[in-house]
Amino acid sequence: MPTNTLTHQIKELQKRKNDLFDFKSETEDIDDLADEIFEALYQHTAKQRNETETDTSQTDINNP
Asked if residue 53 belongs to a domain, the reply is yes
Asked if residue 4 belongs to a domain, the reply is yes
**pLDDT bracket for residue 35 (50, 70, 90):** very high
Average pLDDT, the chain: 77
Q: What is the pTM of this model?
A: 0.49
Measured between alpha carbons, how far is residue 23 from residues 19, 27, 31, 34 in Å? 12, 12, 16, 12
Asked if residue 21 belongs to a domain, the reply is no
List the domain range (segments joined by +) for residue 62.
1-10+27-64
Evaluate whether 23 touches 40 at the Cβ level (below 8 Å): yes
pLDDT of residue 18: 66
Asked if residue 19 belongs to a domain, the reply is no
Asked if residue 15 belongs to a domain, the reply is no
pLDDT of residue 31: 93
